Amino acid sequence: MPQSRPDADQEGRNKLSFYTQKNYLGAGTFAEVSSYTSTAPSNPGVVAIKKVSRQHHLMGVNIGAIKEIQVLRELDHVNVLSLRDVFCFGGRAHLVLELCVGDLKDLAQDTRIPLPEASIKGFMQQLLRGLSHVHSRRFMHRDIKTENILLTGEGVLKLADFGLAAPFGWIGDGVSPTPRPLHYEVATLGYRAPELLCRGATHGPAIDMWSVGCVLAELLIRQNIFRCTEERQREGRQEEGQLSEIAKLLGSPVDPMTDPTAARKALGLSGLREEDLEAMAVPGGPQRLVGLSTPVPLWPGCSFLPGFPASIDPSPPQPWRAMHPLFAAASPLALDLLSRLLLYDPSLRLTADEALSHPFFQAHPPPVLPSGLLPRGWAPKK
């Protein structure tokens, strides 16, 4: 007598019965998100469920979803989106998550909402606290952008979407460890660090800090600071085009290993000395580039990276206040923090903990608390 196959969806069907769909919230390439009212004993109230498709799947489940689940289960912080439950139904993974009302991109582009520097401090402080926790657990997010930074109705920031996250560190026998090899095609183009654009074989948490710098700039000027032109994208030269967009503002990268004369000139323009750079590279070293008005385009070893362009249009670094009209109104400390994040050389970028201790957050006015960051009832424009 033939045996009936077990119902692979039974457990998921039972769990889904506790949730009643309220509103469709949106969709990405491989997932869609809706809000649900939950009567589940472990998750009562209103939640979000992210349904992940089977594309790019392994054993029937999306690889990105597997990575996101694995990472979120290792994290526990108020500024990291909480994973409440996971189940499969209808061939899709269902991730039960905290419900948020919008994201930082919605807010940055919503001209109804003023963004004074005290509010920017409040958002950035929360972002850096969440990222510090992620890095302390030895993970890189690898796709930080304003769309992946969610906001609850109470103004609490939640770092989300860990589908590209990866551990960082060294591999080997402890005697001769080597950096963990990682793929460079991560992070959305407008937030992608230069070492990724140049197809470096390894990278670390500094790529997240570059993206944090892009987020800070976006909150200050209400748009992405580095945007690759559509023409370049159509030509299939995205990485080279994006590096060119960065060079227009920060100056063409200079490799002191191959062009020491240009490196000395760049140091002179920024008002720095070689010993200043050496001190900055030491963990816990100087937190500020006091009086720095121009970016530092130095990047040791960049010319040896496999994706570094054979030729790049020479561009001098632009003064920070000349890059955008709204930068002219930013405080010196805001631009000082920005200057320590948007650096070509990954070893010179501040860590999340160092950024949190930057004087920008101690200066008056203080960061706005979450409860005061959003107008009551705020929701993104449809």
Q: Which residues form the catalytic set?
A: 143
Residue 256 Cα distances to 189, 263, 304, angstroms: 27, 5, 12
Category of 206 on φ-ψ map: left (φ > 0), alpha (ψ -120 to 50) or beta: alpha
Phi and psi at 138, nearest 5°, equal 70, 30
